[in-house]
Amino acid sequence: MSELIRPAKLRLGVNIDHVATIRNARGGDHPDPVRAAEIVAAVGGDGITAHLREDRRHIRDDDLARIQDATGLPLNLEMAATEEMLAIALRHKPHAACIVPERREERTTEGGLDAAGMHNHLAPVVGRLLDAGISVSLFIAPDARQIEAAMRLGAPVVELHTGEYAHACLEEGGGEARAVELRRIADMAALAAKNGIEPHAGHGLTYENVQPIAAIPQLAELNIGHYLIGEAIFCGLEQSIRRMRQLMDDAR
Ligand code: PXP
């Protein structure tokens, strides 16, 4: 790959949804995801990621403007491709919108977006976001068919779903599955970059599994949430972000 298109630094976007999950468990204002966003900025995180779900189980509407006002960091708004979410994105104008599939009953975003099968539904959503000056990312499985669909939709960014890789990392004797998943992610990052799409990755990344992903040279950004917030309970958010940042830098 040409040095000209090798991203200078692998950015770390910190997903702060689960600070809001803990807040919502008691219905009050504490802990405030805005305070988490300020810590991300203070320790050199590159962006804030937040998912406004249909059921508002973590981030709420009023959090978005507060997060945007709190730091100068770019906000990556994860959203389903619905009219409601599109209107919210157009009103708040985050730096980026990452379109994710969303099923009400799922615990987290369990699979990638079927960008190929949903072309006609996604095309106007992508177009209206781009027209408003919002970068668009599609959260897809590491699959050539989905990259080709992202190209047809004119998405400037794809985020490759690392959930299967993370899952394989946890399985006893899962070495082969892990290698297969890692290869798929590396190949699809290369395919995206070759076609002018900036590849990102995320989901299920931890201190233990992040380095082989961070070592993929075409990747420009990782979005990590649950593990960082979970570790923060034991060592503080500053420390958990710093440690992840160090592991990512060491892998490059
Ligand atoms: N990227 C996307 C598109 C996601 O939906 C999520 C989960 O909200 C993440 C990254 C972060 O995943 P995790 O919380 O497992 O680190």
Domain ranges (residues) in the chain:
11-251
What string of DSSP letters covers 93-104?
--SEEEE----T
pLDDT at site 6 = 57
Active site residue 51: yes
- Give 153's contacts (C-beta < 8 A, 6+ positions apart): 115, 119, 122, 123, 126, 138
Q: Is 204 in the pocket of ligand 1 (CB under 6 A)?
A: yes
* Mean pLDDT of all residues in 37-56: 96
Interhelix angle 119-131/83-92, rounded to 10 degrees, is 20
**Catalytic pick among 18, 58, 78, 181:** 78
Task: Please determine, for residue 2, whether its predicted confidence score (pLDDT) is greater than 70.
Answer: no
Question: Residue 176: what pLDDT?
Answer: 92
The CATH number fitting domain 11-251, selected from 3.30.930.10, 3.30.413.10, 3.40.50.2300, 3.20.20.70: 3.20.20.70
Kindly state the average pLDDT of the residues 55-66. Answer: 95
The minimum-distance atom of ligand 1 relative to the CA of 224 is: 16
CA nearest neighbour of 6 among 223, 186, 252, 220:
220
What is the model's pTM?
Answer: 0.94
Determine the length of the chain.
252
Indicate the pLDDT class of residue 4, thresholds 50, 70 and 90. low
Q: Check whether 3 has a pLDDT greater than 80.
A: no
Catalytic site residue from 51, 58, 161, 200: 51
Residue 108 Cβ contacting ligand 1 at under 6 Å: yes
- Rounded Cα distance between 235 and 130, Å, is 39
Ligand 1 pocket test, candidate residues 203, 205, 207, 209, most atoms within 8 A of CB: 203
Whole-number pLDDT of residue 250? 95
Q: What is the pLDDT of residues 104-129, one digit of tens each?
A: 666 776 789 999 999 999 999 999 99
Q: And the tokens for 228?
A: 């960082």
The answer to whether 203 is a known catalytic residue is yes
Task: Find the range with the poorest average confidence among 5-19, 66-80, 189-203.
Answer: 5-19
Residue 110 falls in the annotated catalytic set: no
* pLDDT exceeds 90 at position 8: no
Model pLDDT, residue 7 = 58
- State whether the beta carbon of 102 lies less than 6 angstroms from ligand 1: no
pLDDT at 96: 98
Cα 225 to ligand 1 centre (Å): 6
The residue contributing the CA closest to ligand 1 atom 9 is 203
pLDDT recorded at residue 5 = 55
Q: Which pLDDT value is given to residue 111?
A: 81
**Tens digit of pLDDT for each residue in 161-217?**
999 999 999 998 878 999 999 999 999 999 999 999 999 999 999 999 999 999 999
213 in Cβ contact with 219 (< 8 Å): yes
Please indicate whether residue 139, judged by its CB atom, sits closer than 6 Å to ligand 1: yes
The predicted structure's pLDDT at residue 174: 76
Question: Which residue is associated with the tokens 């395919």?
Answer: 191
Nearest CA to ligand 1 atom 5: 109
**Of these residues, 18, 58, 203, 221, which one is catalytic?**
203
Phi and psi for 161 in degrees, rounded to 5? -75, 120
Average pLDDT along the chain: 94
